Chains A and B, each alone.
Chain A
């Protein structure tokens, strides 16, 4: 059962001269897969991830997410879909600095219209799953990189998404913490059945996934 289906996706950036980044991507990812996307910088892997996450649009082709065609959606509609289907984990965490760990985790639920008390309770539950319940009242700048990334993963999970898109989730962490975070993502994949797509340039990280997708010059290389 495919959850993501890309058919001949093209993307060109207009920065002075037109820059053809994605040159016809065809890709199918099934539900519950644990895949990594690798490629040199400038190969288009981040662009691909942004399109998958509906953070950016594409020029040509078709993108089916969970059977739904994602094309020229309004901001409001894509915000809703993101909220329901996709969880993000970023390289530099992207937590809100003025909110504590619990409030950061609860943020996606705020946009679902869940009341504060309830969403904070759920957020605590997820922090507990990540093993950092005791950090709930701390602000992001009082936490280590690994802790911040755990908060970010909890935030990505809380809305029970179908897919988690992780852009270099271990890029800013030391090797020990990297390992722990990868183990955590693997566990989430196994226990919650969430499709996990990890963009990385670290072969060690890629090796821990079930499937490797290589991007070269805007097209998918041999897997």
Chain B
């Protein structure tokens, strides 16, 4: 029982972890929006647009505020149709500077990452995710092959995997290339960067406030206008997720421990009854020369056999069930799952072993107390009982 519960909790935990881990945990992003308040004589409903100069300005200014690891403007094309020979697939195209892989936890499994040369030379190169590669190229290696988007050929230079599940796969091309090819207005979708030294929720919220003030001043909008600028604060998101998880965990532990306690009471009761039934037998054994210690020892042994035996069966069934569920879940594609934030509901072996050890200790105690009592009944009373 306990095992199933903890496994369920772990399932949500793994699910939430993977959901949130598509983004590095120290990421901030600025998404320009539309103003909803007039400011400095400007009308409301104005679209905020980051220009190239703005991007340079923010890179410099934010660098003064905190230690920035990776900084990139991003231009994203949602629902891009990628073609290879007669296969095609719809993806989201993210155009970013090198280092983007650190923000989105991408790991290259074949080929290479995007580099500075790609960025400077506006190279028409592309990173594609493993699943897209498998779909478009099947068994072939995609490296060096060309895929087409909008009648423009891109060379595939790398294949990556990443943590987490997203509804639609993402491909990556250099930011500068996108500005040249698709974006004459030189606008960006957002600015994303990772920072060092901001770890607590409080720090992250203060930093987000400073970012808002900085942006408001530069872009000329009311700092209290929430709609004009969206800020993604993954430190806060991670902290919140951890919070929810700790509550789920706590809740399940309480239920689990209650179950365990009822198990303890159950075993204890069984042992009290059996010992009581066997008082006469103990008396006879004592008349034949059994010491109290040998009687207590035997009873504890029996109690242990019961608890270990059934504990082991329970453990086995529990783990079997959770492993089967975990295997079945993998077979269902992520976008068709009933609950998306449920994944790999298995229990860690140490936890299971600890539960079993606890059960064994409990079994020993449950056997010891009544047996100890019975062994100290006067021999003659024990023989005469019943």
Evaluate contact between B288 and A55: CB separation under 8 angstroms.
no
Q: Which one of A106-114, A123-131, A212-220 contacts B?
A: A106-114
Assuming the contacts A55-B378, A96-B281, asked whether A107 and B292 have C-beta atoms less than 8 A apart, the reply is: no
Assuming the contacts A55-B380, A94-B284, A96-B281, asked whether A75 and B291 have C-beta atoms less than 8 A apart, the reply is: yes
Q: Is the interface of B mostly helix, strand, loop or mixed?
A: helix
Interface residues of B in 272-286 (CB under 8 A from A): 280-281, 283-286
A interface residue count range (under 10 / 10 to 19 / 20 to 34 / 35 or more): 20 to 34
Chain A residues closer than 8 Å to B375, beta-carbon distance: 75
Contact partner of A75 (CB less than 8 A), chosen from B280, B283, B287, B376, is B376
Chain B residues closer than 8 Å to A82, beta-carbon distance: 286-289
Considering only CB atoms, which chain A residue lies closest to B379 in the complex? A55
Chain A residues closer than 8 Å to B290, beta-carbon distance: 79, 111
Evaluate contact between A76 and B287: CB separation under 8 angstroms.
no
Evaluate contact between A83 and B380: CB separation under 8 angstroms.
no
Considering only CB atoms, which chain B residue lies closest to A56 in the complex? B380
Evaluate contact between A79 and B376: CB separation under 8 angstroms.
no
B 252-289 binary contact with A (CB < 8 Å = 1; else 0): 00000000000000000000000000001101111111
Count of interface residues, chain B, beta-carbon cutoff 8 Å = 20
Considering only CB atoms, which chain B residue lies closest to A50 in the complex? B380
Evaluate contact between A75 and B289: CB separation under 8 angstroms.
no
B294 contacts A by Cβ under 8 Å = yes
CB distance from B281 to the nearest CB of A (A): 6
Chain B residues closer than 8 Å to A159, beta-carbon distance: 289
CB distance from B242 to the nearest CB of A (A): 57
Chain B residues closer than 8 Å to A76, beta-carbon distance: 291-293
B383 contacts A by Cβ under 8 Å = yes
With the chains together, A20 CA to B291 CA distance in Å? Answer: 29
Residue of B288, B289, B294 with highest tally of chain A CB at under 10 A: B288
CB distance from B286 to the nearest CB of A (A): 6
Considering only CB atoms, which chain A residue lies closest to B294 in the complex? A111
A155 contacts B by Cβ under 8 Å = yes
With the chains together, A4 CA to B375 CA distance in Å? Answer: 27
Evaluate contact between A56 and B378: CB separation under 8 angstroms.
yes
Evaluate contact between B288 and A155: CB separation under 8 angstroms.
yes
Evaluate contact between B281 and A79: CB separation under 8 angstroms.
no
CB distance from A51 to the nearest CB of B (A): 10
With the chains together, A112 CA to B288 CA distance in Å? Answer: 10
Interface residues of A in 44-98 (CB under 8 A from B): 50, 53-56, 75-76, 79-80, 82-84, 88, 90, 94-96
Considering only CB atoms, which chain A residue lies closest to B284 in the complex? A94
With the chains together, A62 CA to B343 CA distance in Å? Answer: 77
With the chains together, A88 CA to B286 CA distance in Å? Answer: 11
Evaluate contact between B289 and A80: CB separation under 8 angstroms.
yes
Chain A residues closer than 8 Å to B379, beta-carbon distance: 54-56
Evaluate contact between A55 and B383: CB separation under 8 angstroms.
yes
Chain B residues closer than 8 Å to A111, beta-carbon distance: 285, 288-291, 294
With the chains together, A84 CA to B288 CA distance in Å? Answer: 9
Evaluate contact between A107 and B285: CB separation under 8 angstroms.
yes
Evaluate contact between B380 and A80: CB separation under 8 angstroms.
no
Chain A residues closer than 8 Å to B293, beta-carbon distance: 76
Residue of A55, A56, A83 with highest tally of chain B CB at under 10 A: A55
Chain A residues closer than 8 Å to B289, beta-carbon distance: 79-80, 82-84, 108, 111-112, 159
- Which B residues are closer than 8 A to A by beta carbons? 280-281, 283-294, 375-376, 378-380, 383
Given A88-B288, A108-B288, A155-B288, 17 new contacts (CB under 8 A): A54-B379, A55-B378, A55-B379, A75-B286, A75-B375, A79-B289, A79-B292, A80-B289, A82-B286, A82-B287, A83-B288, A94-B280, A94-B383, A96-B284, A111-B290, A111-B291, A159-B289
Question: What 3 pairs across the A-B complex have the smallest Cβ distances?
Answer: A83-B289, A111-B289, A55-B380
Listed by A's residue number, 10 A-B pairs whose Cβ atoms lie within 8 Å are: A55-B378, A76-B292, A79-B286, A80-B291, A82-B286, A83-B288, A94-B280, A96-B284, A107-B285, A107-B288
